[in-house]
Amino acid sequence: MKIIKRNGAEETFDIRKIEMAVTKANDAVEEAVRMTPLQIKRISQSVQIACEELGRSPSVEEIQDLVEKSIMAHGAFEVAKCYITYRYKRSLLRQSNTTDDRILSLIECNNEEVKQENANKNPTINAVQRDYMAGEVSKDITRRILLPQDIVEAHEAGIIHFHDSDYYAQHMHNCDLVDLEDMLQNGTVISGTRIDKPHSFSTACNIATQIIAQVASNQYGGQSISLTHLAPFVQISRERIRKNVEAELELLGVRPEEEQICAVVESRVREEINRGVQTIQYQVVTLMTTNGQAPFITVFMYLNEARSEQEKKDLAMIIEETLRQRYEGVKNEKGVWITPAFPKLIYVLEEDNVREGTPYWYLTKLAAQCTAKRMVPDYISEKKMLELKVDANGEGHCYTCMGCRSFLTPYLDENGKPKYYGRFNQGVVTINLVDVALSSGRDMDKFWQVFDERLELCHRALMCRHERLKGTLSDAAPILWQYGALARLKKGEPIDKLLYGGYSTISLGYAGLYECVKYMTGRSHTEEEAKPFALEVMRHMNDACKGWKALHNIDFSLYGTPLESTTYKFAKCLQNRFGMIPGITDKSYITNSYHVHVTEPIDAFTKLAFEAQFQQLSPGGAISYVEVPNMQNNIDAVLQVMQFIYDNIMYAELNTKSDYCQVCGFDGEIVIEEVDGKLVWTCPQCGNQDQSKMNVARRTCGYIGTQYWNQGRTQEIRDRVLHL
């Protein structure tokens, strides 16, 4: 069994250390109240058993809590007092420098918590280490200076989660919808260099990748671009190519038919689209931003966003090439085609492509094949989104999320026109709904009282996020605020006007609705008896957001948090505060947002229809998924799920598996096995457990993760049942 030290490093459990610590406390009290050596041995053994029952690696703090409880359970209160006093003194000494040990453990690559914090960051790389080191300093400053103490304590206790505190010291925001159209059509500036409107599709794609990298280096969340903004450059390339073809024919003295000229031109146009799309795919996966990772980028594919029939046809060609290249994958270091994590793709299901016989049905079939093999694209239903995203004029809109799931709310600019590109999210604070429920002791009146207290805590924490951004000058990130990604502000101009009136959003996240409802009602929220309470919890959070919005003129919005490492943190905190409660706190993870519990048997269509009710109540962002087996030989079934998504839910994805073992060449599903109390990824063919010699891709929280996960998320992945 392993334990996690305070600096995040992993170490083998040693029962002798517990015996020595208790013995020291025992020797420090009067002989009359001392315990016997046998009692000390039993205390140590009981702590070891309790740690083993956790089903994960306990932290030093958790072990010490168990030691305290076990000493008191033996009635040795003087010994317990001595042990607690010693522990407190050591804690005071550690507080004199809260960062050195963690930073040193990062440099030596033995910080297990950080290794598994982000499923798309490799902590052995210098650039990643540098980002994590800066993050530790930022967290330390945030804890000690920038945040109110009660918010810090609530965050550390897992009552709330103040997201991305490693970036809070800087004036940075969460995620955004890049106005690529403005930047390409009107020009931009990158690293002090003026970039004018490109004269070809391939150049536009190259500039787009540079914009993506610059944006990613100036914020900490996901970003999205639309392929529609690249489509006009296909026609520019077509016109240039035609001139070149005509010039070549004139030199050769050849006068072919118009139809033949068009065929040659279109062939070369497709070649350029191929090169441009390849630039985006390979640049994105090979770029490394200042935070040591590939950009968290989402690419939006929406045919009805085109402004003319020709542009729509050109957009269709870009979408087709994007899907074909993603289906192929990228080569790993062994030259084997694997599933890349980025860019994330979103394909809009609409009347022109959702059924056989529609003009773009061929694209939908290609998307289904790509999903079955590479887990993307994910799907937005134009039909459902137009129903749910309605502006003040009563008009529905279809647009992409910012990153993996954070959705902007409808907004009209000063001219009364809808605006989505160029907007952003200020930040996220998540409420732990399971803790709210357990703190109430199943007393319904107390539940709502505690709920309101915690919501107010989140409100104040979110206002800290907002206040941190207030006063930020456009010079802090010129690519964002001055050169078109989000705005065209003047040098030295504050960004404040973009923080109010709905231009940007700020998100109240939530987690663990399933466990919350299960504890309060004794039933899953999928059961009819419990669903009304679950929906009421959702409405209560939405009402809180509406109240805060009216109070501050800031667009607070409810957001289905994509817990990654936090699911493990919340689970550990709940176990510390409330013990092991069967069906509630007995796992190393809690359920993301409103989702059906990963172990609950339910078919794909029932799950999507059920979760659609909750997705509607998460206007700030949400995504649903179904877990499926290998579907590459059953594309018709994938298409049926996609058509069901179109009619029933706004945003959903299909999760499959796409793994490769570099030792034996196994191409299938790498499995998870328990070894010495730790979950380890294992090749079922050769038994390889070296993570550096395998490629594993799993849906983590909207994005695909490829760098492995902490023990809580790994257990959740292992526990997932199939829905199809």
pLDDT at 115 over 60: no
Q: Are 691 and 661 in contact (CB under 8 A)?
A: no
Active-site option among 35, 404, 573, 642: 404
Is 26 among the residues known to form the active site?
no
Do 191 and 335 fall into the same domain?
yes
pLDDT tens across 126-141, in order?
666 667 667 777 788 8
Residue 327 located in a structural domain: yes
Q: Tell me how crowded residue 686 is: count the other CB atoms within 10 A of its CB.
A: 13
Between CA 533 and CA 538 the distance in angstroms is 9
Is 381 among the residues known to form the active site?
no
Top pLDDT among 111 and 374 is at: 374
pLDDT at 290 over 60: no
Percent of the chain with pLDDT over 70: 92
Active-site option among 138, 165, 218, 425: 425
Do 71 and 194 fall into the same domain?
no
| Token digits of residue 161 | 């989660």
Work out the pLDDT band at 676, boundaries 50, 70, 90: confident
**649: region left, alpha or beta (phi > 0 left; psi from -120 to 50 alpha):** beta
SS3 477: coil
pLDDT at 468 over 90: yes
pLDDT of 128: 66
Residue 575 located in a structural domain: no
Active-site option among 702, 703, 705, 716: 702
Do 231 and 369 fall into the same domain?
yes
For residues 366-388, give the mean pLDDT.
Answer: 97
Do 354 and 212 fall into the same domain?
yes
The reported pTM is 0.87
Work out the pLDDT band at 478, boundaries 50, 70, 90: very high
Q: What phi, psi does 596 have (nearest 5°)?
A: -65, 140
Q: Are 341 and 706 in contact (CB under 8 A)?
A: yes
Is 205 among the residues known to form the active site?
no
Active-site option among 559, 589, 625, 651: 559
Do 231 and 358 fall into the same domain?
yes
| Token digits of residue 475 | 């010079």
Do 187 and 92 fall into the same domain?
no
Is 404 among the residues known to form the active site?
yes
Active-site option among 564, 611, 627, 653: 564
pLDDT at 122 over 90: no
39 CB-side CA count, 13 A: 15
The CATH number assigned to the domain holding 360 equals: 3.20.70.20
Do 90 and 220 fall into the same domain?
no
Is 406 among the residues known to form the active site?
yes
SS3 for 578-622 is: HCCCCCCCCCCCCCECCCCCCCCCCCHHHHHHHHHHHHCCCCCEC
pLDDT of 8: 67
Between CA 71 and CA 188 the distance in angstroms is 66
pLDDT of 320: 98
Do 79 and 211 fall into the same domain?
no
Between CA 230 and CA 178 the distance in angstroms is 13
For residues 249-254, give the mean pLDDT.
Answer: 93
pLDDT tens across 416-465, in order?
999 999 999 999 999 999 999 999 999 999 999 999 999 999 999 999 99
126 CB-side CA count, 13 A: 0
Do 216 and 337 fall into the same domain?
yes
For residues 179-205, give the mean pLDDT.
Answer: 97
Residue 240 located in a structural domain: yes
Q: Which residues neighbour 147 within 8 Å (Cβ) at sequence distance 6 or greater?
A: 155, 162, 165, 168, 461, 464
Average pLDDT in the chain: 91
Q: How many domains does the chain have?
A: 2
For residues 193-216, give the mean pLDDT.
Answer: 96
What residue numbers bound the domain in which 79 lies? 1-96
Between CA 297 and CA 178 the distance in angstroms is 10
Active-site option among 7, 44, 118, 174: 174
Is 401 among the residues known to form the active site?
no
pLDDT at 120 over 80: no
Residue 670 located in a structural domain: no
pLDDT of 123: 58
Active-site option among 35, 301, 402, 516: 402
Do 359 and 219 fall into the same domain?
yes
pLDDT of 87: 77
pLDDT of 546: 98
Residue 328 located in a structural domain: yes
Residue 454 located in a structural domain: no
Percent of the chain with pLDDT over 90: 73
Is 402 among the residues known to form the active site?
yes
Q: Which of 355, 388, 421 is the last residue of a domain?
A: 388
Do 80 and 191 fall into the same domain?
no
Work out the pLDDT band at 641, boundaries 50, 70, 90: very high
pLDDT at 4 over 90: no
Q: Which of 340, 362, 388 is the last residue of a domain?
A: 388
pLDDT of 247: 95
- DSSP 8-state secondary structure symbol assigned to residue 561: -
pLDDT of 235: 98
Least confident of 142-146, 404-408, 586-590: 142-146
Residue 226 located in a structural domain: yes
pLDDT tens across 524-577, in order?
999 999 999 999 999 999 999 999 999 999 999 999 998 888 999 999 999 999
- DSSP 8-state secondary structure symbol assigned to residue 487: -
Residue 311 located in a structural domain: yes
Is 174 among the residues known to form the active site?
yes
Active-site option among 26, 70, 224, 406: 406
Q: Which of 96, 130, 160 is the last residue of a domain?
A: 96
Active-site option among 35, 51, 172, 175: 175
What sign has the CA pseudo-torsion 664, 669, 672, 673? Answer: negative
β-strand pairing of 659-661 with 555-560:
unpaired
Is 274 among the residues known to form the active site?
no
Which candidate, 570, 572, 564, places its Cα nearest to that of 120? 564
- What type of residue is 301? M
